Amino acid sequence: MPVQEKFQFISDSLSLNLVNTEENRRGKRHDLLETDQQVYSWLEHMFSVQVIHAEQFSQNNPDPFTQESMSDLKELRGLLRKGFENIADGQQVDEHWIHSLEKYIHNAPFTFAIKENKLLPIPCGPYLNALLSLIAYDALELLTHGKLAALHRCSNPKCLWMFMDVTGKRKWCSMKICGNRMKAARHKDRS
């Protein structure tokens, strides 16, 4: 039976949180979304930290995550990872990347509602399409608002995670996770 994953929250971005559902464990890439239960747990976590809201899915009942729908989610995650890594490495945004994200939105276009003085996008379409549309919208919103200029890879070369930092001082995805590990490793090397 798969281990119940504890998801970390290092960004208020839905798309970046999806990308950070892969990690390096003992030198191997580990997928935190291998089962439908892990996907539901991740979604529950995104709801609990208010990255997504119940109102965005009020017209859609969650469909069971099939192998095909999980494959679609992972395909989007791979697309986002490639684009985010290129941006974090200082490369220009690929137009194909933008158009690919726009296709996800086309499958579940939006209406909007105001919640707590913020405009909330509400996708129209089946649950999976709505979820993928929200994730793609989030990535494009980061791009159009210039927020991806603050996107960085973790300084731990073994870490796959990325994070936003507007201060220019942050090096780690998380001090708890990578910062302390790397500091302990440097201290051990000096001893």
Q: What is the pLDDT of residue 20?
A: 95
For residues 129 and 134, give the distance between their C-alpha atoms in angstroms, rounded to a whole number: 9
Backbone angles phi, psi at 180, to 5 degrees: -65, -40
Pair 172, 155: CB distance under 8 Å: yes
pLDDT in tens, 120-155: 999 998 899 999 999 999 999 999 999 999 999 999
On the 0-12 / 13-18 / 19+ scale of CB atoms within 10 A, 162 is buried
Query: For residue 1, is it within any domain?
Result: no
Q: What is the rounded average pLDDT of the residues 151-168?
A: 92
Query: For residue 93, is it within any domain?
Result: yes
Q: Is 22 helix (H, G, I), strand (E, B) or coil?
A: strand
DSSP 87-145: HHTTPPPPHHHHHHHHHHHHTS-EEEEEETTEEEEEE-S-HHHHHHHHHHHHHHHHHHT
Of the ranges 37-41, 47-51, 79-83, 115-119, the best mean pLDDT one: 79-83
pLDDT in tens, 37-69: 999 999 999 999 999 998 898 666 667 788 899
In the chain, what are the helix, strand and coil shares in percent, each to the nearest 5? 50, 15, 35
Query: For residue 5, is it within any domain?
Result: no
Q: What is the pLDDT of residue 94?
A: 94
Per-residue pLDDT for 179 more than 80? no
The total domain count for the chain is: 1
Pair 148, 140: CB distance under 8 Å: no
Identify the CATH number of the domain in which residue 68 sits: 1.10.3300.10
- List Cβ neighbours of 111 (8 Å cut-off, separation of 6 or more): 121, 122, 124
Query: For residue 7, is it within any domain?
Result: no
Of the ranges 24-38, 131-145, 158-172, the best mean pLDDT one: 131-145
Q: What is the rounded average pLDDT of the residues 169-191?
A: 66
Q: What is the pLDDT of residue 187?
A: 46
Query: For residue 172, is it within any domain?
Result: no
What is the distance in angstroms between the CA of the first residue and the CA of the last residue of the chain?
41
Q: Tell me which of 1-5, 28-32, 46-50, 97-101 is least confident.
A: 1-5
On the 0-12 / 13-18 / 19+ scale of CB atoms within 10 A, 131 is buried
- Domain assignment of residue 34, given as a range: 14-153
Q: What is the rounded average pLDDT of the residues 22-29?
A: 88
Query: For residue 168, is it within any domain?
Result: no
Q: What is the pLDDT of residue 1?
A: 34
